[in-house]
Amino acid sequence: MKPAQEKALRALARNRSRPELKALFALIRQQDDRTLLAIAAPAKKRTAAKRKGDPLVRELEQTLKPLMGPAQEKADLLIEHIAKKHRRKLAFQPKGLAEATRQLRTKFSDDQISAGAKSLMSHLAKLYGDRETVV
Amino acid sequence: MAITAYLAFEPADEDAARSVGAELERHGWSVTLSSPELRTQEKLNALVQRVGESGVVVLIASRAALESAWLQREVVAALNNGRPLIIVQTDDLPADSWIYSTLDTTGLIDLRSGARSEVLGQIVERARAANGRGRVIAMLNIKGGVGKTVLAANLFAAAHLADKRSVSFIDLDPQHNLTQYFLSPGERNRVRDRNHSIYGILNPRGDASVPLSDIGGVAIPLNRASRGAKQPNFELIAGDERLFEFTLDTRSDRDKAEAFTRFRALIAALRARSDAVIIDSNPCATFLTRLAITTADHIVAPVRPEKYSLTGLNMLEHVVREVRGRALRPNEFSVLLNGVNDRTRSGETGDADTLTRNEISGAPFFGSALLPDEVPYSAVLKSAPSDRLAANPINVTAMMRVGGRPAKESLARAAAAILRRAGQ
pLDDT at B347: 54
Using a CB-CB cut-off of 8 Å, the residues of chain A touching B193 are none
Across the range A76-89, mean pLDDT stands at 94
- Is there a contact between B219 and B175 (Cβ–Cβ < 8 Å)? no
Residue B247, amino acid: T
Residue B377: CB partners within 8 Å, gap ≥ 6?
A: B339, B340, B341, B342, B343, B344
Inter-chain residue contact B185 with A124, CB threshold 8 Å: no
d(CA B98, CA A31): 105
d(CA A103, CA A61): 16
Domain that holds residue A15: 3-40
User: pLDDT tens digit string along B203-261?
Assistant: 988 888 898 888 888 999 999 887 777 788 999 999 999 999 998 878 888 888 889 98
d(CA B18, CA B192): 49
Confidence tier at B2 by pLDDT (50, 70, 90): low
What residues 165-194 of chain B have any CB closer than 8 A to a CB of chain A?
180, 184-187, 189
Across the range B95-111, mean pLDDT stands at 84
Using a CB-CB cut-off of 8 Å, the residues of chain B touching A70 are 395, 400
Across the range B289-311, mean pLDDT stands at 89
The residues pairing with B88 across neighbouring beta strands, listed in sequence order, are B60, B109
Residue B353, amino acid: D
Across the range B310-335, mean pLDDT stands at 86
DSSP class of A31: S
Three-state DSSP at B27 gives coil
The residues pairing with B302 across neighbouring beta strands, listed in sequence order, are B336
Does the residue A36 lie in any domain?
Answer: yes
Confidence tier at B317 by pLDDT (50, 70, 90): confident
Does the residue A46 lie in any domain?
Answer: no
Higher pLDDT, A122 or B206: A122
Does the residue A71 lie in any domain?
Answer: yes
- Which of A68, A78, A80, A126 should we substitute to test contact with B (largest number of B Cβ atoms within 10 Å)? A68
> Is residue B384 within 8 angstroms of chain A, CB to CB?
yes
pLDDT at B6: 93
Same domain, A67 and A101: yes
User: pLDDT tens digit string along B339-371?
Assistant: 888 777 655 555 888 888 888 888 878 888 999
Q: Which of B185, B226, B384 lies nearest to residue A130, judging by beta carbons? A: B185
User: What is each CA distance from B283 to B54, B101, B414, in whole angstroms?
Assistant: 28, 31, 22
Confidence tier at B81 by pLDDT (50, 70, 90): confident
Using a CB-CB cut-off of 8 Å, the residues of chain B touching A66 are 387-389
Burial of B171 (0-12, 13-18, 19+ CB in 10 A): buried
Using a CB-CB cut-off of 8 Å, the residues of chain A touching B187 are 127-128
Same domain, A21 and A86: no
d(CA B114, CA B124): 16
- Residue B138, pLDDT > 90, answer yes
> Is residue A128 within 8 angstroms of chain B, CB to CB?
yes
Does the residue A134 lie in any domain?
Answer: no
Q: What is the mean pLDDT of chain B?
A: 88
Residue B296, amino acid: A
- Which of B183, B184, B193 should we substitute to test contact with A (largest number of A Cβ atoms within 10 Å)? B184
User: What is each CA distance from B317 to B146, B147, B242, B323, B334, in whole angstroms?
Assistant: 16, 18, 28, 10, 12
DSSP class of B247: T
User: pLDDT tens digit string along A19-75?
Assistant: 999 999 999 999 999 999 988 888 887 777 777 788 999 999 999 999 999 999 999
Domain total of chain A = 2
> Among the listed ranges B31-40, B237-246, B350-359, B387-396, which one has the minimum average pLDDT value?
B350-359
Q: How far is CA B79 from the centre of its chain?
A: 12
Across the range B167-181, mean pLDDT stands at 94
Inter-chain residue contact A127 with B187, CB threshold 8 Å: yes
Same domain, A61 and A122: yes
Domains identified in chain B and CATH numbers = 4-131 (3.40.50.10140), 134-421 (3.40.50.300)
Using a CB-CB cut-off of 8 Å, the residues of chain A touching B185 are 130-133
Across the range A90-105, mean pLDDT stands at 92
Inter-chain residue contact A128 with B387, CB threshold 8 Å: no
Residue A132, amino acid: E
